Amino acid sequence: MNLQDQIGEIDSKERLADLVAALLDDLVRNPQEWENVSLEGFLAAMEAWIRDMDGYYKNAGQPIPDMPTWRTLADILLAARVYE
């Protein structure tokens, strides 16, 4: 299952931890597919995406979360891989 497909299944801390493990594995195996391979770049992208995430949810036709969920955290982590 690819990383994006796992998003729909994130409903607990265990599943989020599994996603984090899958992200690490993906980074090791496919660094060329990541825009932000350094911790500095990843965290900067994470900050930027969090600040802009309302637009993502609006464009995707999804409600903007009032309170973050495990899935919201997963969205943030996946976005930080490639967000510029």
Q: Residue ranges per domain, the chain?
A: 3-82
Amino acid residing at 39: L
Whether pLDDT at 1 is above 80: no
Mean pLDDT value of segment 39-61 = 96
Whether pLDDT at 8 is above 90: no
Decide: 10 and 16 in contact? Cβ < 8 Å: yes
DSSP state of 17: H
Instruction: Please tell me the pTM assigned to this model.
Output: 0.89
DSSP state of 73: H
Decide: 36 and 44 in contact? Cβ < 8 Å: yes
If we measure between CA atoms, which residue out of 1, 84, 6, 4 comes closest to residue 45? 84
Residue 26: what pLDDT?
96
Mean pLDDT value of segment 32-40 = 97
